[in-house]
Amino acid sequence: MGFSHSHLLGIEHLKQSDIVAVLDLAESYVDLNRRQEKHADALSGLTQINMFFENSTRTQASFEIAGKRLGADVMNMSMGTTSLEKGESLIDTALTLNAMHPDLLVVRHPHSGAVNLLAEKVNCAVLNAGDGRHEHPTQALLDALTIRRARGRLHRLNIAICGDIAHSRVARSNILLFGRMESRIHLVGPSTLIPAGAADWGVEIHEDMQEGLRGADVVMMLRLQRERMDGGFIPSEREYFHRFGLDAEKLGFAKPDAIVMHPGPMNRGVEIDGTIADDINRSVIQEQVEMGVAVRMAAMDLLARNLETPPSGSAV
Ligand code: ASP
């Protein structure tokens, strides 16, 4: 079954077969990335612009490596220091870049919905690299690939997503993805960090780690996203770690072979104990980073196949 989308804006728009198509293609890129010679030519002749209006280390690096390995010309724009400071609107910036004929635009923005808006104004493929607290589709896809490789399937799993759900686009995209797979999602955190309306998402909600982690196949920890908080959501980090931080004792509530995930960046000693994060028998955090490159290669490859215009220069 084909992947018929022109943009990757959110898991919201993907069918189960689209998700499987990305993951299956990503598997071949996992193999390529483990070779010494890592080049393929799926994006050869294409221009990829990474526009990050919010700081990023791993996502931006991952998209850059992914594009380069597939032969694209990749340009990184750190938007905080350029036109936005001069008061140019998001749309004007997008239109200016659009006039340079990029083929793929990778965008991260602090406002939910900004990437969708931008996609309406440009005529290239747009990939959402995280918009506000809305979606982070490539993170959910890389999490799914990591889980499928570790647990052998995506269906009928118990997935505990723990911590700051309210400010997390990672949680939202994963809830949508694993909802498509008929897996059971348990959201675990203090009531102040569970969004209003979450009870209608088809998930189970717990304010206690023992209850929330019981029988979990996957334990996904989230960072406290202070940049999106405008008040005191937790009494103190110490108290938060005591109640919700993942340590060996709390991990003991999950299945004995449950895997531990974190999208990064991690706050050791706040949402996760460092020894758990580094335990290669339980933690798949480094695999998540590895799968990120492969999934982004697959997503850009599939979108490039659907580009309406031929790659610039190909008609010369
Ligand atoms: N890196 C992820 C994101 O951009 C998670 C986080 O920042 O905590 O949403």
* Confidence band, pLDDT 50/70/90 cuts, at residue 310: low
Q: Model's pTM, two decimal places?
A: 0.95
CA of 99 to the centre of ligand 1 (A): 30
Q: Is the predicted pLDDT of residue 314 greater than 50, yes or no?
A: no
pLDDT given for residue 91 in this prediction: 83
pLDDT at 232 over 60: yes
C-beta of 212 in contact with ligand 1 (< 6 A): no
> Could you count the other beta carbons within 10 Å of the beta carbon of residue 288?
22
Q: What percent of the chain has pLDDT over 90?
A: 84
Give the CA dihedral 13, 17, 19, 20, nearest 10 degrees. 180
Strands (DSSP E) contained in the chain are 47-52, 73-78, 104-109, 125-131, 158-162, 184-188, 204-206, 218-221, 259-261
In this predicted structure, which of 73-82, 172-181, 207-216, 285-294 has the lowest mean pLDDT? 73-82
Residue nearest to atom 4 of ligand 1 (CA): 130
R_g of the chain, CA atoms, integer Å: 19
110 lines ligand 1 (CB under 6 A): no
Asked whether 29 and 296 are in contact (CB, 8 A), the reply is: no
Query: For 311, which DSSP code?
Result: P
Distance 308 CA to ligand 1 centre (A): 32
Q: Does residue 136's CB lie within 6 angstroms of at least one atom of ligand 1?
A: yes
**Is the model's pLDDT at 160 over the cut of 60?**
yes
Calpha distance 42→30 (Å, rounded): 15
- The pLDDT assigned to 82 comes to 55
Q: To which residue do tokens 């334990």 refer?
A: 219
d(CA 195, CA 199): 9
Measured in Å, residue 265 CA sits from the centre of ligand 1 at: 7
- Closest by CA to 147, choosing from 273, 253, 19, is 19
Q: Is the CB of 167 under 6 A from ligand 1?
A: no
Selected residue with higher pLDDT from 231 and 250: 250
The CB of 263 under 6 Å from ligand 1? The reply is yes
What is the pLDDT at residue 29?
A: 98
**Which residue out of 50, 136, 164, 170 has the highest number of ligand 1 atoms within 8 Å of its CB and is therefore the one to mutate?**
170
Query: 94-151: per-residue pLDDT in tens?
Result: 888 899 999 999 999 999 999 999 999 999 999 999 999 999 999 999 999 999 999 9
